[in-house]
Chain A
Amino acid sequence: MRIFLFAVFFFFTFILKSQKIEGVVLGDSSPIANASVFLHEFSKVVITSQNGEFIFENIPNGTYHLHINFLGYEPEVVLVQSPQKNPITIELHQSSIEIREIEIEESLLNSINDNRARNIEVLNQDQISNSTDVGLVEAMAKLPGVQMINIGNNAAKPIIRGLGFNRVLTNVNGIKQEGQQWGADHGLAIDEGNIESIEIVKGANSLIYGSDALGGVINMHQNSTLPDFGTSVNIGLKLNSVNMRYAPKASIGFRKGDFFTKLSGSFAKAGDIAVPASSFNYNTFVYPIYNEQLKNTASHNYAGSISFGMIKKWGQLRLNHIVFDQKIGFFPGAHGRPNFNLLFDDSNRFDIDMPYQTINNSNTSLQTDFYLPKGWLELDVGFQQNTRQEFEIPHAHKLGPAPENNLALGLSLNTITANIRYHFAPGQGKSIVGVSGQHQQNNEEGFEYFLPSFNTSSTGIFWYREKPVTENVIVNYGARADYLSQHIEQKNISVYNQLNEEIGDTTLTQKRDNSFQNITGAIGFVFKPDHTKVFKINLGSGFRFPTVPELSANGFHHGTFRFEVGNTNLKPERTLSLDGSVNYHNKKFAIDVSPYVNYFLNYIFLEPTGKFASKANGGGQIHQYNQANSLHLGLEFFADWHIVKALHAELKGDGVFGYNLNTNRNLPFMPPINLRLNLSYQISKPEAKNTAEVFAGSNYFASQNLVAINELETPQSIIFNSGVSFRNKSKNPFQIKFEVQNLFNTAYLYHLSRFRLLNLPEAGRSLNMSINYKF
């Protein structure tokens, strides 16, 4: 590798020509000093001079995006070509609306909200640090079109446009996160302490991201901006009263010359969740909730990350490593059917007793960009290890010898991923060609069985083009082909008679080799008639190869209380998707409406058989995977209004419907229509050194009566929150925020919660706090 890098270095230092991108930033025709200009592709920032001028040097040939930001003006994104014929002039428009800022990512593939015909939401470092939510997914679920499946403490799964599990793809540092996404009872194994920014691309987007990009794509970045020169330290603390959670974090960054490094660590310990109820009803029984706390829902996690990077004339390089270790107790009532005996108070809020699960995840990635004469080459390689273990006391139902230990289900998944992308600019606009490959190995162990050991190899190739058609219209289009091969191992278990004597064995999963292929494409248009309006329309497609559980599962899934049986005849699931958005903004008001419709071909779902599994196998009704065409449509919107300069109102909402066209039933896990209103009042002037803000909001969920078979209907609910935040904007910025969530301690049911099945209310009132300080 080292020799290769040196070779590349020598090669390019000879052929590189030093070019520059320069321009001037104007507001109302006069120069703006101190505006920030960001060269997206290379993560470089410059500040404009007194004359509004800026310059980037040593820029290879190509087309680049510049993001220009200045307080009180709309942020602007422009495309520039290198070499430049003339310096560019950028005119900013005054506005008090905080246009949802386009965050700066390391990769060109990400984020050009205005020019790509996609709908993108961003959470930047500031928003992630300041949020007082229990986790990353909770913070994301406040964005329009994003919801979550709440699994309990410190764990949640993201849902985008009503699709989740393997229909949402998460990338960490450009590498697809693989961690048994199909499972209903564990969350995303990434801690907020290691993530600086999150970008959510809504809608089907398999053209660029490949399999699984159906509902949307979440791009998480460990380093979205480079550390300051010298040494800088960030410390932060979050507290939540509802589960007595405390979560400190710290990071230290160092940058000198063209080298930088960052080290960060975080910890979170949480006790049993408090709920505003002293009992719950399940199947005509009333079960107690002692002390209004859900027993054994405590959790803790440790996370850390380290990165090294260098920015050279030949390109840039980053080496990242992230680790995450989590232990979460299962509410004994939600791991199989509730049982009075298991619900007695154990008088310890922080202990984690059986049943519990542990999740260990590590991601190592190398990200490199090489500048070539006509473009640049991006090469990302990643290695991930994900281990998930469930521990419980074995039940007495089974024949045969008792298991030797408490490991019920152990899954260890190793994944190697590589992406190569070449960015170039033939004529106007830009093009990308890319190749990606992935190899996975999964091993299973434990006394319960759900899915087999397997290995898969996949590869994909794509081409993407973005170019201006007229001054106001940008078109983007592309095509992609993918191939996946899979080897599933046989699983035999011993069979015992009533005297516990072994009398032979039986096969739960047959050995099998599968292969799948898929071809997909997309086309989109962006129309910007003037700086106040943007129209986007995109005709795309998404696909997803069947997962191993869908093909070969044969066991009880504790997450769903179902016995699931795979179907080896499944074909890839595909969607044709049409989505668009209309955006209008002026100085005081902004609105964004995004409707979409997906037509699914071979949508994979679990179909009940009406037959029971024997309890030796875990029990439950047997559900078999099947596929059918389905319709999925919805809309999300966002409105932002500065009623007066200091008073700011925000209203977001979304609604989604899914319908299986063969069974004529609703699709499962569809979020209810929901609205989120937030009012904030700025006590001080926004440009002051010390600022303070008070805010209050509410979140309304309509009732969800369009449910899948055997899914429960959920009544409507409304909860309120309120808080105050203070911020010091000096060289050593300091921020503190207090928030009360679920202000009135409302007992409400959330349709997508893991606890919905048991009629358990969601978390009660919580006093939250976040503090961040940088020095």
Chain B
Amino acid sequence: MKTRILTVALILGLTSCKKVDEEKPVISIETPANNQHFEPGKTIDLKGKITDNEALSQVKIDMHSGDGHIHKSTKSIFDLEEIIDIEGKEYALNLPITIPADADTGLYHLIIEATDAEGNEAEFVELDLEIHEH
């Protein structure tokens, strides 16, 4: 422990104590809810907020089939990816996602990721959504 304190002191002494942004951005999603069900042809209202202590950089929205692998289906595999440049300390996420009428039914993952300008990665949000016909 003593060596550690000494070394830390040495490092701090050698560097001019520049402040480094180590705070991650934070993602909070209002809608949809986890495990929410949707019908093909309907719209998912993705709404939420992304905040950072200094400056945001990008948000990435990724929706794909839940088993993650190629499956032999006659229907189209619904797959969405949006990368949006964002800035400032707060960003209001508002992205309507329209599910194609012929989308393959089943489990889908909706993943929202964000970074700040320093490259700090937010803990991503992963939602499981069910697409099925009524």
Instruction: Give me the interface of A with B, judged by CB distance under 8 Å.
Output: 283-285, 339, 341-342, 393-397, 402, 607-612, 614-616, 619, 621, 623, 631, 633-635, 655, 657, 659, 661, 663-665, 673, 702, 706, 709-710
Contacts of B123 in A (CB 8 A): 283-284
- Contacts A283-B123, A341-B66, A619-B62 known; 8 new A-B pairs at CB < 8 A: A283-B124, A341-B68, A395-B69, A607-B119, A621-B121, A631-B14, A673-B3, A710-B120
With known contacts A283-B124, A661-B15, A664-B15, A608–B115 Cβ distance under 8 A? yes
Q: List 17 A-B contacts (CB under 8 A).
A: A283-B123, A283-B124, A283-B126, A341-B66, A341-B68, A342-B68, A607-B119, A610-B116, A621-B121, A623-B119, A655-B3, A657-B11, A661-B15, A665-B20, A702-B4, A710-B119, A710-B121
- Contact of A397 (CB < 8 Å), options: B64, B117, B118: B64
B58 at the interface (CB under 8 A from A): yes
Q: How long is the Cα–Cα vector from A664 to B83 in the complex, in angstroms?
A: 29
B134 near A: Cβ within 8 Å? no
Q: Which residue of B lies closest to A659 (CB)?
A: B11
Identify the closest chain A residue to B22 (Cβ). A709
Q: How many residues of B contact A (CB 8 A)?
A: 39
**A274 CB → nearest B CB, Å:** 27
From the candidates B65, B77, B81, name the one contacting A614 in the complex (CB within 8 A): B81
- B105: which A residues are within 8 A, CB to CB? none
Name B61-80 residues within 8 Å CB distance of A: 62, 64-71, 77, 79
Is the beta-carbon distance between B115 and A612 smaller than 8 angstroms?
A: yes
A interface secondary structure, majority: mixed
CB of B119 to closest CB in A, whole Å: 3
Contact B7 A396 (CB under 8 A): no
Q: Given contacts A283-B123, A395-B69, A396-B69, is CB(A631)–CB(B11) below 8 Å?
A: yes
In the assembled complex, the Cα of A633 lies from the Cα of B7 at a distance in Å of 8
- Docked-complex contact B64 and A396, CB < 8 angstroms: yes
CB <8 Å contact, B70 and A394 = yes
A-contact bits for B64-108, CB 8 A (1 contact / 0 none): 111111110000010101010000000000000000000000000
Chain A residues closer than 8 Å to B64, beta-carbon distance? 396-397, 615
Closest 7 CB pairs of A and B: A608-B119, A610-B57, A612-B60, A610-B115, A664-B18, A396-B70, A610-B119
- Interface pair A635/B62, CB less than 8 Å apart: no
Name which residue of chain A comes closest to B111, CB basis. A337
What is the chain B residue whose CB lies nearest that of A665?
B20
- Which residues of chain B in 3-37 are interfacial with respect to chain A, using CB atoms and an 8 Å cutoff? 3-4, 7-8, 10-11, 14-15, 18, 20, 22
- Alpha-carbon separation in the docked complex, A52 to B71 (Å): 80
Report how far A339 CA is from B4 CA in the complex, Å: 39
In the complex, the chain B residue whose C-beta lies closest to that of A393 is B69
Q: A635–B2 Cα gap in the complex (Å)?
A: 12
- Out of A610, A709, A710, name the residue touching B117 (CB < 8 Å): A610
**Pairwise interchain contact A655-B70, C-beta atoms closer than 8 A:** no
Across the interface, do B118 and A610 meet the contact criterion of CB distance under 8 Å? Answer: yes
Residues of A within 8 Å of B18, CB to CB, are 664
User: Which B-chain residue is minimally distant from A342 (CB atoms)?
Assistant: B68
Q: How far is the CA of A587 from the CA of B77 in the complex (A)?
A: 75
CB distance from B67 to the nearest CB of A (A): 6
Contact for A339 among B68, B71, B118, CB less than 8 A = B68
* Residues in A neighbouring B14, C-beta threshold 8 A: 631, 659, 661
Q: Which of B70, B79, B118, B126 contacts A402 (CB 8 A)?
A: B70
Q: In the complex where A608-B119, A631-B11 touch, is A655 in contact with B20 (Cβ < 8 A)?
A: no
Taking CB atoms, residues of chain B closer than 8 Å to A661 are 14-15
Contact across chains for A611 and B115 when beta carbons are under 8 A apart: yes
List, in ascending order, chain B residues with CB within 8 A of A709's CB: 22, 118-120
Contact, CB under 8 Å: B126 / A635: no
